[in-house]
């Protein structure tokens, strides 16, 4: 049985609950969600209690189920280049930064709109 969002790819740059919950719901409905995390620290949710016996945050584990993950430094050209390659095959980019952050990274709406899409 195919799920409603099967075949949809989402790049998730969100932090903490609102965006993570939205992308979790989309993943539960079959979307291929790729969570993009910062190097070194990763998502802040990784450190939120309670923690399981293995030391992993139960919050983080629950809210990020059914997602894949990649670590990229979007402040560096190499990280942005990899992200833009991922954008080519994505249907949705989900982010929860303050206004202007994506533009300052060179990844604002106008820049992402210019990336050739996998569909016409």
pLDDT of 102-120, one tens digit each?
999 999 999 999 998 876 6
pLDDT of residue 17: 87
Across the chain, the runs of DSSP E, i.e. the strands, are 9-12, 32-37, 67-71, 92-94
Over residues 8-13, the mean pLDDT reads: 98
Share of the chain above pLDDT 70, in %: 98
Query: Which domains are seen in the chain, by residue range?
Result: 9-113 (3.40.50.10540)
Cβ 55 vs Cβ 22: under 8 Å: no
pLDDT band at 45 (very low <50, low <70, confident <90, very high): confident
Taking the model in full, what pTM does it have?
Answer: 0.91
At 2 the pLDDT is: 93
Q: Give the rounded percent of residues in the chain with a pLDDT score beyond 90.
A: 79
Mean pLDDT for the chain?
A: 93
pLDDT at 13 over 90: yes
Count of C-beta atoms within a 10 Å radius of residue 40: 7
| Phi-psi region at 87: left, alpha or beta (left = phi > 0; alpha = psi -120 to 50) | alpha
Could you give the CA distance from residue 60 to residue 58 in angstroms, rounded to a whole number? 5
- 18-32, 39-53, 91-105: which has the minimum mean pLDDT? 39-53
Per-residue pLDDT band at 15 (split at 50, 70, 90): confident
């Amino acid at each position: 049985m195919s799920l409603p969002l099967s075949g949809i790819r989402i790049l998730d740059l969100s932090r903490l609950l609102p965006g993570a919950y939205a992308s979790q719901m989309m993943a539960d409905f079959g979307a291929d969600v790729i969570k993009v995390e910062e190097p070194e620290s990763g998502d802040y949710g990784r450190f939120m209690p309670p923690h399981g016996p293995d030391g992993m945050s139960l919050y983080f584990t629950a809210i990020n189920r059914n997602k894949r993950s990649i670590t990229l430094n979007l402040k560096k050209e190499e990280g942005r280049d990899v992200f833009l390659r991922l954008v080519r095959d994505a249907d949705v980019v989900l982010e929860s930064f303050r206004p202007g952050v994506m533009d300052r990274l060179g990844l604002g709406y106008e820049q992402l709109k210019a990336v050739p899409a996998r569909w016409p």
